[in-house]
Amino acid sequence: MQENGVVNEDLVSRERIVAVDGVELWAEEFGGPGHPVVLLVMGARAQGVQWNDGIVRRLVEGGRRVIRYDHRDTGRSSVVDFAVRPYTVADLASDALAVLDAFGVERAHLVGASLGGIIAQRVAVTDPLRVLTLTSLSSQPLGTDTAALVRRALEGAPPGPGELPPPSAELLAALAATLPDPGAGLEGHLALRLPLWRVLHGSVLPFDEEEYRAMERRVYERARDLTAGFNHTLAGAAGGDDTAALASVTAPTLVLHGTEDPMFPPAHGEATAARIPGARLVMIEGLGHTLPTALDARLAEEILRHTGDREDAV
């Protein structure tokens, strides 16, 4: 994104820094102030700009006011000393509400990807009056013990009775090989990250290396500390949420999930939809655990359809 706030020639953003509990969060909004708000919540270690500009543009053209932001420990937001000030998913959910407050938004359509889906689910449970609709994308049910799934997979043990499947063995190997090296420079960073994106992308849709290279270059250039995002894993491991709480969600819910997701295999999306009353599950053929621009139109279309199902208020 250019420093003048122009993502491209026809999409202008308004940026601000949101202060919450001693942390500063970078955020930006697009679209008309009178339009219903869609808050885009990214996943673990991911920056708000990893919501593709193509998705944002299509949502704005569809009559939505769109807000995206950097979680604490990502992008231009504050880097936190986790040992001194540990935080949980509950705190990340509070951050999302603080972003809405800063933009003067009482109620919003929440769209969360991966960890962002879990954060959005939590807000729908704890603050239902703030949520117009919920969209959980490439995620899993709130309260799932992912760390235990991964631990058992690394030990070679199958999932226990009623447990969801772990990430694929190929992905676990790729994740283990991609610990960041702060001294590697941009090219070293790209060489480390691109093999991981190949696995996350899945094997069905064509892999556009230049697309992922450009995205990672943008991430690298914006990051205060590329290693800080690993604190999100610690935050998620802190637990404290109960999957049964999803039965209390009253917001109309859409669950979008990829048929090729190696991080949260399709059973995770199915379980999320099954545990939220009235949720609608849409499986996206060929989608892995990324947001390839080739699917911008499809994903935006699904979000626009879901967020247009009822009268909205800002």
- Cβ atoms of 248 and 134 within 8 Å: the answer is no
Tokens in use for 150? 């991964």
CA distance 232 to 228: 8
How many residues does the structure list for the chain? 314
CA 4 to chain centre: 25
To the nearest 10 degrees (0 to 180), the angle between helices 169-176 and 185-201 is 170
Token output for 299 = 């994903």
User: Within the chain, where are the H helices?
Assistant: 53-61, 89-102, 115-126, 146-154, 169-176, 185-201, 209-222, 231-237, 266-275, 296-307
Catalytic residues: 114, 261, 289
Query: Rounded to an integer, what distance in angstroms lies between the CA atom of residue 48 and that of residue 292?
Result: 15
C-alpha Rg value of the chain to the nearest Å? 18
Are 256 and 137 a contacting pair, CB within 8 Å?
A: yes
**How far is it, in rounded angstroms, from Cα 39 to Cα 19?**
17
Query: Residue 207 burial (CB < 10 Å; 0-12/13-18/19+)?
Result: middle
Buried b (16+ CB within 10 A) or exposed e, 289-298: bbbbeebbeb
d(CA 36, CA 307) in angstroms, rounded, equals 9
